[in-house]
Amino acid sequence: MRIRQARPDDASAVADVHVRSWQAAFAGLVPQPYLDTMDPGREEPVWKALIAEAAWPSAGVLVAESDARIVGFTGFGPSQEAPSIAEIGTLYALPEVWSTGIGKQLMLGALKTLDQAHYTHATLWVLEANERARRFYEAAGWSPDGTSVTDTTGGACLNKLRYRSARGVARSAGAGRATPEVPV
């Protein structure tokens, strides 16, 4: 498995991972009609633009390749809150590779890249009811910070929790943990 910076020609594969992972991970959480109408073809132009507009290392998309195909990705950039805070906006993998370490390697690659951009903190949002994702983030050292919002994806009211992780100087001064090196 290899983690690397995404290229615009990866957009189709990223869109496929996005849709397939949503349809599996959010079944029972997001209304099924919404999941059923998701289409990689509609998502591809969005991903192509996001990948092309990357401002590395402050913002971008990393992909995980296994057996010469993209099996996961993560996207990150500055948060709306403050320019010194990063946000991991996406971290998805194909359902058939869940629990193989690909998500962990994508997270480590994203955090290493965010540290290169000198962010002091990083945040991400997760559905409160998505216990699998919450366990994953907590095992990776993320903690809920007490902030929540209501999302209306697919017409349902879904509670999202914000998780936070100290980065760079803030991490060194407080937690004293180093981020493992991951080739990117």
- The whole-number pLDDT of residue 178 equals 34
14 Cβ neighbours under 8 A, 6+ residues apart: 6, 47, 51, 61, 63, 70, 73
DSSP codes of every residue in 78-91: E-SS-TTEEEEEEE
Q: How far is CA 131 from the centre of its chain?
A: 16
For residues 169 and 124, give the distance between their C-alpha atoms in angstroms, rounded to a whole number.
19
List the structure tokens of 158.
């879904």
Could you tell me if 126 and 163 are in contact, meaning their C-beta atoms sit under 8 angstroms apart?
yes
- Residue with the larger pLDDT of the pair 83 and 98: 98
For residues 77 and 86, give the distance between their C-alpha atoms in angstroms, rounded to a whole number.
6
- The whole-number pLDDT of residue 177 equals 37
| Tens digit of each residue's pLDDT (9 = 90 or more) over 92-132 | 999 999 999 999 999 999 999 999 999 989 999 999 999 99
Whether 3 shows a pLDDT value over 80: the answer reads yes
- What are 151's strand-pairing partners? 158
- Mean pLDDT over residues 8-20, rounded? 98
H or E element in which residue 105 lies: helix 102-116
